[in-house]
Structure 1
Amino acid sequence: MTDRKKLTADQRRRLLALPAGWLACGLGSGLAPVAQGTFGSLAAILPWLALRHLGVPLYALVLVLAFAMGVWACNVAGRALGVDDHRSLVWDEFVGQWLALLPLLLVPSPWWLVAVGFGLFRLFDVWKPWPIGWLDGHMKGGLGVMIDDVVAGLYAAIVLALIAIAL
């Protein structure tokens, strides 16, 4: 079951009692009172500023590890909260945002394309064109939390790459 309500005090306590809960809620960014996905995506840009210097092979490894950790963390956190995909679980936004910004490591780009990548990721994450909406509705557990944002990140990365190449 997907729950879009605010965390209760008991849910917040259970979530923050677990290392997986801290990771799943984006190190606290998912605890924002509104627009948790947007806050999670914005928070993801801060570590991206360091990650972008790793080079593409290490960056790709970080993405794979972050995805795997997210599946685990969101599964544990979802069980602790008693819901499949609570809006406070935003580690998926971190991974999706990092994937969306991948083209900026490959093509020399002006700084403002980071904002474009952010906007594109949020657009695809909210709009949920096929198969994102299908995945969001049919996949459960930690994998269900993570996979739709990965596809949204891929869509955003493709559009961002086209924009960066066109410049």
Structure 2
Amino acid sequence: MTTGDRLSLLVSGLGPIGKIPHAAGTWGSAVAVLAAPALFVPLPGFWRVVVLAALFYVGGVTATRTEKLLDKKDPGHVVIDELIGQWLTFLPFAAPTTFELAAGFVFFRAFDILKPPPVRASEHWLPGGYGVMIDDVLAGIYACLCLAVLHWLR
């Protein structure tokens, strides 16, 4: 295994999170929520979009390589997609409360697991690891919309 292969596994799995044997995606989302107040929320809107675009690119590249290394389509090891989807959930919020962070987690996990249209179909829109990433982007958009409604109602 090359250094590049190890790096792809490390990045796509968010370090050790992808190695968790059960519910790695949920753990990846939880880590993303915990990291968001320090690493994502403080950024100005433009930089949040830049970070998400960079994560999509890097996630697509590393997920593609991880799929080949593990010889499996959308392996559970890949959790960088949860990071982008979860952070996308919080994109328009300047200072989400603890309640909103928790609600965003629940909304994103629900849409990521249930995969309502067109989330499930989107997995086939793009090749390789980008197909792994895009369904979480759409789940994140759904979760963001629900969180916006919840925020507005409060």
How has the CA–CA distance of structure 1 residues 17 and 140 changed in structure 2, closer, same or farther, with 3 Å as cutoff?
A: closer
Report the equivalent of 1:149: 136
Q: Corresponding residue for 1:164?
A: 151
Task: Say if 2:116 is the partner of 1:116.
Answer: no
Deviation string, structure 1 residues 17-50 (Cα, Å, up to 9, x no partner)? 5111111012221211211110010111233122
* Secondary structure of residue in 2 paired with 1:18: helix
TM-score by length of 1: 0.84
- In structure 2, the residue matched to 1:95 is 84
Give % identity: 33
> After the TM superposition, which residues 1-150 of structure 1 pair with which residues of structure 2 at under 5 Å, given as runs?
18-50=6-38, 51-105=40-94, 109-136=96-123, 139-150=126-137
Deviation sequence 1:108-157 (CA, Å, 0-9, x none): 54321100000000000001000111123565411111000000000000
TM-score of the two chains, using structure 2 as the length reference: 0.91
* Distance in 1 between residues matched to 2:131 and 2:90, nearest whole Å: 22
Summarize the Cα distance change of 1:71–1:24 in structure 2 as closer, same or farther, 3 Å threshold: same
| Aligned alpha-carbon RMSD (Å) | 2.0
- The answer on whether the counterparts of 1:15 and 1:80 sit within 8 Å (CA) in structure 2 is no
Are the aligned partners of 2:36 and 2:87 in contact in 1 as well (CA < 8 Å)? yes
Q: Classify 1:126/1:140 alpha carbon distance in 2 versus 1 (closer, same or farther; 3 Å).
A: same
Matched with 1:4 is none
Instruction: Show structure 1 runs of 5+ residues with no match.
Output: 1-12
Task: State how many pairs are aligned.
Answer: 153
Residue identity matched to 1:83: K
Worse-superposed segment, 120-129 or 135-144 = 135-144
Residue identity opposite 2:52 in structure 1: L
